[in-house]
Amino acid sequence: MKNTFIITIGRQLGAGGKLTGEMLSKQLQIPCYDKELLQLAAKESGVHADFFEQADEKSRFSILSALSSFWEGDFFTNNYLSNEALFKFQSDVIQDLASRQSCIFVGRCADYVLRNHPRLLSVFITANMGNRIETIAQSQGISEEKAKTLIEQTDKKRASYYNFYSNKLWGSATSYDLCINASTFGMDETVAFILDFVRKKFVV
């Protein structure tokens, strides 16, 4: 499938990375994978999906999660699965999907997992903090103060995850083919810009 191509999207919380992927998916008529990867990895590995959820874009499990698993009776059968093992299961699913079709992956170090793919475009979406706070406050139904805290915590986890599993730095321009601030033009024009980049890079 030499004409297939892959787009990976790294993103700050509230910058519109998921929406960008969905809009690109619709325009290019190719699938976009975000949380769906966790279910697919669980199905392929036979590991309960809850463990992928616990480890999702985190470099390590929390103690509370482990204790919760213990009291639910799953500790001895499942908790010894390392984050590295779960990352490997998820990476295998990403590589399998990318080998069969054009698609878009949001987060989960997909750009690093697919670093040897010959037709890969890695994108990072950022946005002004004020816009991000407003987006998260509205979507989550929380105060702007809580939205800011959530953004800072989530970005820190995503950075830790990415830096732990890859040899690159999360959010650094040198780690991606294209970094774009969605606040500059708005979501529609941001997607249009990426589409133009895609068409020029892959001649589609």
Could you state, in order of their start, the residue ranges of all structural domains in the chain? 6-202
pLDDT score recorded for residue 59: 61
pLDDT score recorded for residue 80: 43
pLDDT score recorded for residue 60: 58
Q: What is the pTM for the complete model shown?
A: 0.86
CATH of domain 6-202: 3.40.50.300
Q: Which two tokens stand for residue 102?
A: 């054009």
To which H or E segment does residue 52 belong? helix 49-55
Instruction: Dihedral sign for Cα 119, 105, 197, 199, please.
Output: positive
- Mean pLDDT by runs of 10 across the 204 residues of the chain is 90 98 97 90 80 71 44 43 81 95 96 97 98 97 98 96 94 97 97 96 86
pLDDT score recorded for residue 38: 82
pLDDT score recorded for residue 81: 56
For the stretch 111-120, contacts whose Cβ atoms lie closer than 8 Å and that sit 24 or more positions apart, written own/partner, are 111/8, 111/10, 111/166, 111/175, 111/176, 112/162, 112/165, 112/166, 112/167, 112/168, 114/6, 114/8, 117/6, 119/4, 119/5, 119/6, 119/202, 120/5, 120/6, 120/7, 120/8, 120/177
